Amino acid sequence: MKEKLRKVFRRLKGQGGFTLIELLIVIAIMGFLVAMIAPRLAKVAGNASDVVCDNNQARLRQVLAAYTEGHGTLPDRLTSLVCHDDTGVAVDPTTQYDFATELGTGWYIDDNNKGTGQEVLSKDFYAMTKMGLVKLSPDEAKELQQLGVNTIFYLNVNQDVKAMDYVSNEIKKFNANIPKHGAGKNDYMAVTPVSAGVEVLAAGYKNDGTTAALTIQPNQKIGHPDWVGRILLGVGPESDLVKEGLIQQAGMCPNGIKRSDHFLYNNYNIVVPRLASTATAMVTALANDPAAIGVKLTFKNERTGETKDVEIYKDQGEEVWQVTTCCPEGCNPMAVSEPVWVLTGPPAAIK
């Protein structure tokens, strides 16, 4: 036995290990391989998030289609993306946005600087939709009720909010200028009956009850030109879709979660069909011609050169089945994912 052990020892003693040069070469090769593979893995991960987001929206559209077919209306108890300031006045997001840089300039829209804390809405969401504040007229409120939306919840992010479960990303650090709403008053997700004067956000359009206008000027961009004038409402945890068990809680966008240091609101949204009374108000304000029966907006895709005319006529609303969705970064799988549609000129009257 001892002799056998001596033989094994002599055999092992005669074997050489790796030299330092050989180890360095192996490490260099491994580093080179990692450098080659890492970008591809990152791209796969990014694509996976996009796929999950698209699947979430596909599921939401299926549920919406079933709901509208069964009820003939939209689901109720949706979220108005409006936030009020410390004086109780609804904030028009166009006042906190730089259209040149496509970034927020206040607490409402992401400024792409996590050092300033979390703002309310994603910069991409706003770049795609260019939402403006709309104060509902009596006719608009009535139409929205007829579509099944009788109650909304004001988003109303404020400093007293401690948690926004199933509505936002995790609260980490509020932008310091987010309203406090005074004396510990927390009116986050405040329930409000739909009536004249209730405030909502609409794509590419604003109306304070006195003056109506587009939120974009010629040579400015939007992601969804067909949505101009359409109200966007969030699908939060109190919506009928959740309460009736058609979806579980409220969906969160995976891409939004990745940017949780930058913004809060992360629910999917319903793009309400354009109301007939909104169409009439738009024609009256934009055509600048009392004889006009409609107004035409012309957009050009800055990448493909394709042009698109969006025609809006007095007293002509869209049907309930034309409802669609978008994620909290403004994307819809059926359309472009970036704001590439440029308004080519002022609105043109249709007679």
The pLDDT tens digits of the residues spanning 132-142 come to 999 999 999 99
The Cα 153–Cα 177 span in angstroms is: 22
| φ, ψ for residue 156, nearest 5 deg | 45, 55
Q: How confident is the model at residue 1 (pLDDT cuts 50, 70, 90)?
A: low
**Residue 57 in tokens:** 């929206």
| Its pTM surpasses 0.75 | yes
Give the range among 70-74, 127-131, 248-252 with minimum mean pLDDT. 248-252
The pLDDT > 70 percentage for the chain reads: 89
Out of 48-57, 123-132, 230-239, which region has the weakest mean confidence (pLDDT)?
A: 48-57
Structure tokens at 321: 């089945």
Kindly indicate the confidence band of residue 43, based on its pLDDT and cuts at 50, 70 and 90.
Answer: very low
In the chain, % helix, strand, coil (3-state, to 5) comes to 30, 20, 45
The answer to whether residues 270 and 149 touch, using CB atoms and an 8 Å cutoff, is no
Q: Are 201 and 133 in contact (CB under 8 A)?
A: yes
Task: Give me the mean pLDDT over the 187-212 stretch.
Answer: 96
Task: Give, in order, the Cα–Cα distances in Å from 227 to each of 71, 335, 339, 342.
Answer: 24, 11, 13, 14
- ∠ CA(168), CA(173), CA(178), 5° rounding? 80
CA–CA gap between residue 193 and residue 89 (Å, rounded): 18
Question: How many other CB atoms sit within 10 Å of the CB of residue 158?
Answer: 20
- Both tokens of 6, joined, read 């001596």
Average pLDDT on 168-179 reads: 92
The pLDDT value given to residue 40 = 54
Give the whole-angstrom CA distance, residue 20 versus residue 24.
6
DSSP 3-state of 206: strand
CA pseudo-torsion sign 40, 46, 50, 52: positive
Q: Of 108-122, 206-220, 304-318, 326-340, where does mean pLDDT reach its minimum?
A: 326-340
Greatest pairwise CA separation for the chain in angstroms: 113
Single out the residue of 273, 272, 263 nearest to residue 329, CA to CA. Answer: 263
Check residue 78 and give its pLDDT: 97
Count Cα neighbours of 319 within 13 Å in the Cβ-side half-sphere. 6
Helix (H) or strand (E) holding 183: none
Question: Residue 324 pLDDT more than 80?
Answer: yes
pLDDT band at 11 (very low <50, low <70, confident <90, very high): low
pLDDT at 42 (0 to 100): 47
Q: Nearest Cα to 110, choosing from 98, 204, 326?
A: 98
First and final C-alpha spacing in the chain: 109
Among 125-134, 161-170, 230-239, 337-346, where is mean pLDDT lowest? 161-170
Determine contact, residues 94/132, Cβ cutoff 8 Å.
yes
**Picking from 5-14, 125-134, 317-326, which range would have the lowest pLDDT averaged per residue?**
5-14
88: left (phi over 0), alpha (psi -120 to 50) or beta: left
Q: What is the pLDDT of residue 36?
A: 64
Contact 243, 77 (CB under 8 A): yes
Say which amino acid occupies 269: N
pLDDT of residue 337: 81
250: DSSP letter: -
User: What's the average model confidence in pLDDT over 123-146?
Assistant: 97
- Alpha helix ranges (H) inside the chain: 2-13, 20-71, 123-129, 138-146, 240-243, 254-258, 276-286
What confidence category does residue 45 fall into, taking pLDDT thresholds of 50, 70 and 90?
Answer: very low
Average pLDDT, the chain: 89
Q: Evaluate if residue 18 carries a pLDDT over 80.
A: no
Are the C-beta atoms of 250 and 166 separated by less than 8 Å? yes
Tell me what pLDDT residue 31 has: 73
Both tokens assigned to 87:
């004086």
Q: What average pLDDT does range 92-97 have in this prediction?
A: 96
